[in-house]
Each structure stands twice: as C-alpha cells, then as structure tokens.
Amino acid sequence: MKKFASFFLFSAAVFLGGAQLPHLSPAPVIDGKKGDAGWKNALTSSFKLKNGKGFIGRSATHLYVAVDVKHGNSKAYANTCEKQDSPVYNNDCLDFFFTPDPASESYYQIIANVSGALYDHFKDKDARITLSWDSGAVAKGSYGKDSYYIELAVPLAALGYHSNRLAVAVGTFTPWNKQGDILWGRYHMPQTFTAFEIPDSFPVRVRERRWAYAGGMQSSFFTLENLTGKPLQLRGTYNGKALSVKLGPKAIHKLECRSSLPAEKEGRNTLRLFEGAREIVHVSRTFTPIKLLNVTPVSDIIYQGEPLQLKISVNEKPSEKVTVEYYPGKAVCSYKGETVEILYKTIPSPWR
C-alpha cells in the first residue's frame, strides 16, 4: 500500500506509552454497525488528516480495533475484495499494525475492508513477507452517506506477545484520493508504534509452524515451547477435532496435527489450545490446497473384457502408493486421502 511522505504523521512512542488497553465490557459485536455500547470505554483518538476517529480496546479474549472516517466521494467507494489475502489494500480499509517487540523491526499487519475481507501477514526486519500467517481475526464494516466504518476483533492468543506488552498502530486508507492516516504510530515503522500493557501472560509460544499445503489427509507440524517452570496440561482442537498436549517445564514439543481438506477449494486449518478455560494458542492458515493426484483415462469407453487403462501422476515425491478400486462404470483412485473418480462406459467387443 502506498503511503505518502507528505502525510502529517506523528510518532506515538511517547503518547500513552505503557498505558493499559481499556477493558471493554460487554465486548463489541463485530457486525459493522455503529453505536454498539461495547465501544464506549475504548481508547479513542482523532485522525489528523481525516475527519474521523480510531478506537482500540480489549476483552478477556480479544483485541478490538475500529475506524470511523469521512470518505469524501460516495461515488468512488472501493470494496471489491472478498477472498482472504486478496489485494484488500486497494479498497477502503482499516490498517492494524502490531508487534510484540518493536526493537526487532519486524511486525504483523492486518488489513480489512468494509466487507470484512482480510489481508494479513508478517513482515520481518528484512522486509520479507510471510503471507501464510493468518490472524484468526473477524472484521465487518458499513458505508454511510459520506463515510465508512470498519471494526476488527483479533484473538489475543493469536497476537504472539509474552511480556504483557504489545505495540500497535491503527490506520485507514482511501484509494479514491490515495489518502491514508494513522494513529499511535507510523506506517510500517514498528519503532514508532505505541506500547500498551495487557495484563495477560501466555505460557506457551509457537516457535515454528509447518503447514500442510495439499488436499487430502495431510499433516501440519507445530513446535511448542513451554515458557514456564511448571508442567502444563493443555486441551484444544485442530479443525474442530479434540486434542490434548502435555508440556514439561521449559519443554519444547513438536505437535503433529492431521486434517483433510478438498483440493482446489479454499479452506482453513486452525489450531487452538486452552489452559483451563483460557485460550493461549490460536494459529490458523487460510489457503487453497493444491491437487496432488492427477488421473486421466486413456479412453472413457472400453470394450467388454478389456482392462481400464489410466495415466496416474502425483504432484510430489510419492510417499504412499496410489490405490485404485474398481466398480461398475467407475474407478476410484486414492492418494493420502485425496480421491479422483473416473467414469467410463463398457461396450460390446466387435471381436467376440
């Protein structure tokens, strides 16, 4: 997203540095409608260039962000993106930046449009983007006569902080006039983000994640680190399926999770872990699994008594055998839980 140097932006490192994020109770309902009583205790500030406000606060489980700003041209509303990680930054949007460690020069960014489509990623200190990082956030917005309003909720367990402090910035962008504005920091400059105290500690860190990328039954791997000096008994889910994890004091544990998603159809893998009733790990990835198994019949018409001939290929170094089961008029080929069904017709042979 382009941001222009002529913006009057301010460094918020000295503004409200170390203040606690206000607790929102009841928590706002993320429905894109203004006037929810849950926002009444949120921290607010006015944008410098735009006529509008930004809001931020937290509940016991989520961090909440909203922007309410003037648009300037109701005939040029931009809200075209619907899919995860599509170019939402080209729409009227909310920008949420955060980092657990501003000194590292790396940060996370979540961009949401009025429809609630998200573009979220992690950018390291060398400006390399990891688009496979997903926030697990939910967003929704609405247009007014000459304004737009977007609100966002992110699970605290997905934010990756472990020292009771999170540095954030909240922005908005309108492509019609290429105007952006930001509060509590500067665009893409984590050292300027405002640090807020959040009185929660998360005893487990996800040090590494290796996601499945293909359809069918696949494994994803997560390296978990117990940051405490006590054993932990965690319960949770992976794609809704129950699991449990035991971690010794200061232990590092490699967790394998298996799930099956249809190839070439957008889906999501989500790991959630709880200590008691509190969610302490929330990691997810929305993606379109690639198709591993390709099967083509030499002909979809065969003579009686002749075998069905198939061309079979696997889009990786095969680690399992492809199985083929025959039924009247069809063959079902399977590889790692991914199946391809081939239909064929049998006709009498002219030579018999």
Inter-residue contact 93 to 81 (CB < 8 Å): no
204-287: CATH architecture: Sandwich (2.60)
One DSSP character per residue, 234-294 reads EEEEETTEEEEEEE-TT-EEEEEEEEEE-TTS-EEEEEEEEETTEEEEEEEEEE-PBP-EE
pLDDT at position 101 is 87
Inter-residue contact 270 to 308 (CB < 8 Å): no
Inter-residue contact 49 to 8 (CB < 8 Å): yes
pLDDT at position 164 is 83
- Distance separating alpha carbons of residues 176 and 194, to the nearest angstrom: 28
Burial class (CB in 10 A: 0-12, 13-18, 19+), 167: buried
**Residue 33: what residue type?**
K
Query: How many Cα atoms sit within 13 Å of 10 on the Cβ side?
Result: 11
Over residues 129-150, mean pLDDT:
94
* Position 162 pLDDT exceeds 90: no
Joined tokens for residue 225: 């680190």
Over residues 269-282, mean pLDDT:
95
Asked if 19-197 and 204-287 have one fold, the answer is yes
pLDDT band with cut points at 50, 70 and 90 for residue 4: very low
Supply the pTM of this predicted model: 0.83
One DSSP character per residue, 204-231 reads EEEEEEE---BSEEEEEEEEEEE-SSS-
Residue-wise pLDDT for 102-116, tens only, equals 888 899 999 999 999
Over residues 128-137, mean pLDDT:
91
pLDDT at position 352 is 66
Residue-wise pLDDT for 20-50, tens only, equals 899 999 999 999 999 999 999 999 999 998 8
- Distance separating alpha carbons of residues 352 and 1, to the nearest angstrom: 70
pLDDT band with cut points at 50, 70 and 90 for residue 13: very low
Over residues 288-316, mean pLDDT:
93
- Distance separating alpha carbons of residues 196 and 102, to the nearest angstrom: 12
* Position 351 pLDDT exceeds 80: no
* Position 229 pLDDT exceeds 70: yes
* Position 11 pLDDT exceeds 70: no
Over residues 153-170, mean pLDDT:
90
Over residues 221-245, mean pLDDT:
96
Over residues 141-156, mean pLDDT:
96
Mean pLDDT score of the chain: 91
Residue-wise pLDDT for 44-80, tens only, equals 999 998 899 999 999 999 999 999 999 999 999 999 9
One DSSP character per residue, 329-351 reads TEEEEEETTEEEEEE-EEE--TT
Q: Structural domain boundaries of the chain?
A: 19-197, 204-287, 293-347
Put the strands of the sheet holding 216-226 in their side by side order: 204-210, 216-226, 252-261
pLDDT at position 200 is 78
Give me the CATH topology for the region 19-197.
Answer: Immunoglobulin-like (2.60.40)
pLDDT band with cut points at 50, 70 and 90 for residue 201: confident
